[in-house]
Amino acid sequence: MIRSNITKPFIKWVGGKTQLLNQLDQFLPEAIFHEKFTYIEPFVGGGAMLFHILGKFKNFNRIIINDINEDLIKSYITIKENPSQLIDGLKKIETDYLGTDEQDRKEFYLDIRSRFNKKTVDDITNTVYMMFLNRTCFNGLYRVNRKGEFNVPFGKYKNPRICNQETIIADSRALNSIDIDIINDSFETTKKYIDSNGLTFFYFDPPYRPLTETSSFTSYSKGDFNDDDQIRLAEFCKSIDSNKCLWMLSNSDGKSKNPDDDFFDNLYDGFSINHVSASRSINANPNKRGKLTELLIHNKYKLNNFLFEAV
């Protein structure tokens, strides 16, 4: 069942789960280690959990990944279907960019950002631009304004690796090794992919609820993911709760900043609510980076060795 994990995210993404994978493993349901299952990730983001699952298991019936960010979904499809063309494009833009001085690099960056925002290029070029911007922008942050325009400033890195050929090839092979649907829609649409005859496992990694008024990084698509959306997501989780539909969800831990913040305790009352440690590294102020706790919530299922009761 287990195979070597050679895949990893091809893009930096706010809230990426790479550093939390060992902790998330502890909360995976026992059933997926023994049964064939359908895996659904409605907020795929940078794909840390997706590629981890792909490396850890092979007993899939089907995989469905979704994200509301159209550019991100185009990048997954491009890596799956056109990895060679993507690599060629990234190699060229990397050579052109690294061959300029710092001032010219900033102008180069702003020119690519402008082209990216015009949305007049094909999907492969769009993905080249997106991955270039991700590696050369400030802090590797993906952020858009209300018009949906990428607006992150220049990053000033001396020697960024823009084309990671090994990762692109490994990820492409992994995405082609399974029956996978890659969709660009709201998280609710993933409900129709639940396996009516077998086991389904959802992992939810939505835009986190901000801990403070200035800590929001939810603008990775037009419009924010606000408290009403968090409530919609909780209702969705309740609607799919069953012995054959298992789910696990990550979110911010409001109590780490405000002990009286019961938002998620009330929202997921009756489910298992756990606290895991995480580091926040994407912040303009280094003094605001560091360890925090996050929430790991799941419906009642048996873990590898025991049933973890709700706190």
According to DSSP, residue 242 is labeled B
Residue 139 falls in which region: left (phi positive, over 0), alpha (psi -120 to 50) or beta: left
Same structural domain for residues 121 and 64?
A: no
Residues in the chain: 311
The 10s digit of each residue's pLDDT in 186-207 is 999 999 999 999 999 999 999 9
Q: What pLDDT was estimated at residue 305?
A: 60
My answer on whether 250 and 266 are in the same domain is yes
Is 221 inside a domain boundary? yes
> Does residue 141 register a pLDDT over 90?
no
Residues 138 and 49 in one domain: no
Please indicate, yes or no, whether residues 120 and 233 belong to a single structural domain of this protein: no
The number of angstroms, rounded, from the C-alpha of 13 to the middle of its chain's C-alpha atoms is 6
> In CATH, what number is assigned to the domain containing residue 222?
3.40.50.150
Q: Which domain holds residue 118?
A: 76-146+161-165
Please check the confidence at residue 297 and state whether its pLDDT lies above 70: yes
Q: Single out the residue in 109, 138, 165 at which a domain terminates.
A: 165
- Look at residues 132, 165, 198 and tell me which one is the last residue of a structural domain: 165
Residue 40: the pLDDT is 98
In a domain, 3, yes or no: no
pLDDT at 60: 97
Contacts of 242 (CB under 8 A, 6+ apart): none
- Say if residues 162 and 135 touch (Cβ distance below 8 Å): yes
CA angle 132, 159, 15 (to 5 degrees): 55
Let me know whether 45 and 133 are in one domain.
no
Domain assignment of residue 210, yes or no: yes
244 and 111 both lie in a single domain = no
Residue with more model confidence, 157 or 288: 157
- Flag whether 306 is in a domain: no
Indicate whether 58 pLDDT > 90.
Answer: yes
Q: What is the pTM of this model?
A: 0.90
pLDDT one-digit tens code per residue, 249-275: 999 999 988 999 999 999 999 999 999
Can you tell me the mean pLDDT for 55-82?
97
Query: Is residue 305, in this structure, part of any structural domain at all?
Result: no
233's enclosing H/E stretch is helix 227-240
106 in the same domain as 39? no
* Confidence (pLDDT) at 219: 54
* 1 within a domain of the structure (yes/no): no
Residue-averaged pLDDT of the chain: 89
* pLDDT reading at 163 higher than 90: yes
The verdict on 114 and 260 lying in the same domain is no
What is the C-alpha to C-alpha distance for residues 141 and 77, in angstroms, rounded to an integer?
21
What DSSP state is assigned to residue 206? P
State the pLDDT at residue 283.
47
Total structural domains in the chain? 2
Q: For residue 61, is pLDDT > 60?
A: yes
Lowest mean per-residue pLDDT among 14-28, 147-161, 214-228:
214-228
Which pLDDT score, from 0 to 100, does residue 189 have? 98
Query: Are 182 and 263 members of one domain?
Result: yes
